[in-house]
Amino acid sequence: MSKINWARMTWLEIQQAQKRNPVVIIPIGTVETHGPHTLVGLETIISERLAEEVAKRTNSLVLPVTPFGHSDSFAEIPGTIFIRPEVLEGFYEDIFRSVFKFGFDHLLFLTAHVPNQPIIKRVFRKMRAEKGILAASLNPGRIAPSYVRDLFEKPTEVRGHGAEPGLSLAEYLCPEDVSREGAKPSQSLKEFRGFEAEGMSIKFQGFDVLMPINMEDIAPETCGYGDPTQGGPEMGKIMFERMVDVVTAFVEKFKQMDTWLEEA
């Protein structure tokens, strides 16, 4: 199999790899709180490991992970690295331009963390208008929760920022860094200044209300919510392998797609 790690290749090897027109996988993560039992770099680790496993299966190329993201909702909690959105947009755009410049026209961003996605979307829109090229992004953090329903008896109770699916994934991917000692169901607030609260969302008559809520507003003691007492590395392994299968299938289809447009 050809080399897959961009950073461990020479420029000549990268030039040669371009001739087979591989998908280039660009993992994006965050460094922010995930409750008292989960690593602050969890989304970075998941994106990196997922990208590497998929690249092995599909003979794609994978860039070094970009570990930081838009984490303003967690900026006051120790350990969080918050990068301003305008800085991130320029950074992500420069990565896109650098890869595209050398003839790679199938770019897949593995964009962990929901607030990173609008930034990536703006970059994609700009590159579409300017270069006439389509790129794609998948969010690992949106894939894994779909499996919680299959693996847990009470999925709505265990899921949360600091519990599942992240905690089981962390125990599988880096077990030496995780401890459930003292774990107990997190008690996030169900009401915030007269309004219903669900996770970090404010609700009114069942609808989401856009309001700049921080994690410490909702879960001041744990800076996370959900039930971290269930799950384990076995469930993390199942979820991660399913994620690899899904992203692998997407890459195999994506690399057959014509990503060029005629409108630029």
The CATH number assigned to the domain holding 62 equals 3.40.50.10310
Same domain, 102 and 216: no
Closest CA to 74 of 156, 158, 161: 161
Which pLDDT belongs to residue 194? 96
- The confidence score (pLDDT) of residue 162 equals 87
Domain hosting residue 56, numbered range: 23-187+229-254
Q: What is the largest CA-CA distance in the chain?
A: 62
pLDDT given at position 185: 87
Same domain for 195 and 179: no
181 lies in the same domain as 192: no
Domain count along the chain: 2
Q: Based on the fold, state whether residues 249 and 215 are members of the same structural domain.
A: no
Pair (90, 216) in one structural domain: no
pTM: predicted TM-score of the whole model, two decimal places = 0.94
- Report angle CA 217, 223, 229 to the nearest 5 degrees: 135
Mean pLDDT by 10 residues, the chain (264 residues): 92 97 97 92 97 98 97 94 97 98 98 94 97 96 88 91 93 94 85 92 94 93 91 96 97 98 70
3-state per-residue secondary structure call for 13-28? HHHHHHHHCCCEEEEE
Angle at 40 between CA 196 and CA 156, to 5 degrees: 40
Residues 99 and 201 in one domain: no
Where is 259: in which H helix or E strand? none
Domain contains 16: no
| CB crowding 144-159: b at 16 or more within 10 Å, else e | beebbeebbeebeebb
Q: Residue 216 to residues 33, 169, 187, 264: CA-CA distances in angstroms? A: 11, 24, 12, 45
In this structure, the answer to whether residues 66 and 152 fall within a common structural domain is yes
- What tokens were used for 163? 């519990």
